[in-house]
Amino acid sequence: MRVTDKVELKGYMSETVLVTGSTGFIGTRLLRRLAEEGERVRVFLRPESNGDALPKGVEVVRGRFDDVDALAGAVRGVDRIVHLAGVTKALDEAGYDAGNVMPVRNLLAAVREHNPGLKRFVLVSSLTVAGPASEGLRGVSEHDSPAPVSAYGRSKLRAEALCMECSSAIPVTIVRPPAVYGPGDRDVLQVFQMLAKGVLVSAGSVARQRFSMIYVDDLVRGMMMAARSDRAAGSIYYITSPRSYSWNELIAAVQPVFGLTKVYKLSLPRPLVFLVGMVIGAAGSLRGTVPLINRDKANELVQDYWVCSPGKAELDLGFTAGTTLEAGVAKTISWYRSKGWL
Ligand SMILES: NC(=O)c1ccc[n+]([C@@H]2O[C@H](COP(=O)([O-])OP(=O)(O)OC[C@H]3O[C@@H](n4cnc5c(N)ncnc54)[C@H](OP(=O)(O)O)[C@@H]3O)[C@@H](O)[C@H]2O)c1
| Residue bearing the bigger pLDDT, 61 or 285 | 61
What pLDDT is attached to residue 14? 76
If phi > 0 it is left, if psi is from -120 to 50 it is alpha, else beta; for residue 33 that is: alpha
| Residue bearing the bigger pLDDT, 42 or 286 | 42
List the residue whose alpha carbon is closest to atom 38 of ligand 1: 21
Q: Is the CB of 184 under 6 A from ligand 1?
A: no
Mean of per-residue pLDDT scores for the chain: 94
pLDDT in tens, 81-105: 999 999 999 989 999 999 999 999 9
Q: Is the CB of 267 under 6 A from ligand 1?
A: no
pLDDT in tens, 287-315: 888 888 888 889 999 999 999 999 999 99
Question: Binning pLDDT at 50, 70 and 90, where does residue 12 land?
Answer: low
Mean pLDDT computed over 15-41: 97
pLDDT in tens, 224-271: 999 999 999 999 999 999 999 999 999 999 999 999 999 999 999 999
Contact assessment for residue 108 and residue 122, using Cβ atoms and an 8 Å cutoff? no
Q: Is the CB of 260 under 6 A from ligand 1?
A: no
List the residue whose alpha carbon is closest to atom 20 of ligand 1: 24
Rg for the chain, CA atoms, rounded: 20
Per-residue pLDDT at 338 exceeds 90? yes
Query: How large a percentage of the chain has pLDDT more than 90?
Result: 86
List the residue whose alpha carbon is closest to atom 1 of ligand 1: 180
Per-residue pLDDT at 55 exceeds 60? yes
Question: Binning pLDDT at 50, 70 and 90, where does residue 4 land?
Answer: very low
Mean pLDDT computed over 185-204: 95
What pLDDT is attached to residue 18? 98
Question: Binning pLDDT at 50, 70 and 90, where does residue 116 land?
Answer: very high
| Residue bearing the bigger pLDDT, 14 or 41 | 41
Per-residue pLDDT at 58 exceeds 90? yes
Q: What is the full DSSP assignment across 77-139?
A: T-SEEEE----S--SSHHHHIIIIIHHHHHHHHHHHHH-TT-SEEEEE--GGGT---SSSSS-
Q: Is the CB of 182 under 6 A from ligand 1?
A: no
Mean pLDDT computed over 14-18: 92
Q: Is CATH 3.40.50.720 correct for 3-185+212-242+306-323?
A: yes
Q: 136-164 burial, b if ≥16 CB within 10 A, otherwise e?
A: beebbebeeebebbbbbbbbbbbbbebbe
* Entry pTM: 0.95
Contact assessment for residue 140 and residue 89, using Cβ atoms and an 8 Å cutoff? no
Q: Is the CB of 96 under 6 A from ligand 1?
A: no
The full set of domain ranges for the chain reads 3-185+212-242+306-323
Rounded Cα–Cα distance for residues 62 and 88 (Å): 22
Rounded Cα–Cα distance for residues 74 and 114 (Å): 10
